[in-house]
Amino acid sequence: MGRRRRTKTGVDPNTVLPTGSTLLNLACADLSCGGYGIGKMTNLIGDSAAGKSFLALTMLAEMAMDDRFKDYRFIYDDAEAACAFNMENLFGPAAKRILPPHVDDDGEAVPSGTVQDFEENLHEYLDGDRPFVYVLDSFDSITSEEEENKLKANLKARAEGGKERGDFGVQKPKAFSRIMRNICRKLRDSKSFLLMISQTRDNIDPMSFSKRTRSGGRALKFYASHEIWLGVVKTLRNVKYKRVIGSLVRAKVTKNKLTGKVREVEFPIYYDYGVDDIVSCVDFLMLEKHWKKTAQTIKAPELSLEGTKAKLISDIEDNPELIPVLKKTVGEVWNGIEENLKLNRKPRFT
């Protein structure tokens, strides 16, 4: 096996997958091209309005349009049965490659209902001959066979005037822990990736990211390569009609087995567009004063552009070849800051 190519960030670009956001890529791996580790599991946690599903689907769509991942399967397990997005409108041709774990005889999607269903679905792909990316949306929405049996027994006991059985809530975390022990090596060997979405019990305070509860026990945190919490900074409104059209989301990487760093980034998510990567990149370069603004004119020398923010964004969208240049510029500025944060001490071990 050939030697891995490493950048000065220490992470090999060939070992990461895009997250759906350039800034989140950088927060996870110090790379603009990707952030999630191939062969790993990531836990994405947030409240119901934080755009978890949008971010996960954007990741799948971005990979589906990238020739590097032409052999991958993209599985979106909508266990909540709540996704009613216009996939074709949001993700174009990429939508055709995003599939459910199973379809029935009528062609209807069959999501996981229990943790055992999820295990069977996952092993079906792990035992296949192609790498895959599997999104479970969400862990909170699946139950366990033990919990279902308990419910049936309790309904019967109640109807017969008998005593109901005790709490079986611990069975799901135990089952998931066993599943992760069995699949971690297979994920790595198949170069696949698992994204577990979790729902918080309370809305996250995006300023403090105060601790909130989530289901799943310790297994989710223990086995995750990245743990990312999403919170809504503010709602975004149409200026004319004053109606909400999206959210500004803050993502905090609280566990990071690629770089070890805790980092926070922000990006807008719109209902009819999804993750606005271009705007978040432009805002970052302006915030760090890499691009200068005079009156309403922004100068973007790397792109040979200047104008208002709206014109700049429009020009970038009209010239897709500028997007990689934009992302590269953001990466260089980000890593320039990271270099300045280093202690520059003599290595302890030489």
For residue 297, the enclosing domain spans 278-339
Whether residues 314 and 254 share a domain: the answer is no
Inter-CA distances, 45 with 51, 132, 139, 204, 214, Å:
10, 21, 10, 10, 8
Whether residues 156 and 293 share a domain: the answer is no
Whether 145 is covered by a domain: the verdict is yes
For residue 12, give the nearest of 30, 235, 27 by alpha carbon.
Answer: 30
Whether residues 297 and 314 share a domain: the answer is yes
Inter-CA distances, 52 with 249, 269, 304, Å:
10, 10, 35
Cα(89)–Cα(272) distance, integer angstroms: 8
pLDDT over threshold 50, residue 3:
no
**pLDDT for 88:** 95
Cα(324)–Cα(332) distance, integer angstroms: 12
Whether 293 is covered by a domain: the verdict is yes
Whether residues 99 and 40 share a domain: the answer is yes
Q: Hey, which residues does 270 pair with through a beta bridge?
A: 246, 274
Q: Is the dihedral of CA 200, 201, 203, 207 positive or negative?
A: negative
Whether 345 is covered by a domain: the verdict is no
Q: Tell me whether the omega of the peptide bond preceding residue 144 falls within 30 degrees of 0, making it cis.
A: no
pTM summary value = 0.91
- Residue 221 has which token pair? 């945190």
Three-state DSSP state, 12: coil
Whether residues 161 and 291 share a domain: the answer is no
**pLDDT for 206:** 61
Cα(190)–Cα(59) distance, integer angstroms: 19
* Tens digits of residue pLDDT in 222-252: 999 999 999 999 999 999 999 999 999 999 9
Whether residues 90 and 168 share a domain: the answer is yes
- Which range, of 1-15, 86-100, 107-121, 327-341, averages the lowest pLDDT? 1-15
Cα(118)–Cα(142) distance, integer angstroms: 8
Q: CA-CA-CA-CA torsion for 59, 60, 61, 63, nearest 10 degrees?
A: 80
**pLDDT for 48:** 81
* Tens digits of residue pLDDT in 287-323: 999 999 999 999 999 999 999 999 999 999 999 999 9
Report phi then psi at 295, rounded to 5.
55, -115
Report phi then psi at 111, rounded to 5.
-80, 170
List the CATH number of the domain containing 212: 3.40.50.300
**pLDDT for 6:** 47
Counted domains in the chain: 2
Whether 316 is covered by a domain: the verdict is yes
- Residue 269 has which token pair? 């998510």
* Tens digits of residue pLDDT in 188-224: 999 999 999 998 866 556 665 555 656 666 888 899 9
* Tens digits of residue pLDDT in 59-94: 999 999 999 999 999 999 999 988 889 999 999 999
For residue 15, give the nearest of 193, 158, 176, 153 by alpha carbon.
Answer: 193
- Residue 295 has which token pair? 């009156």
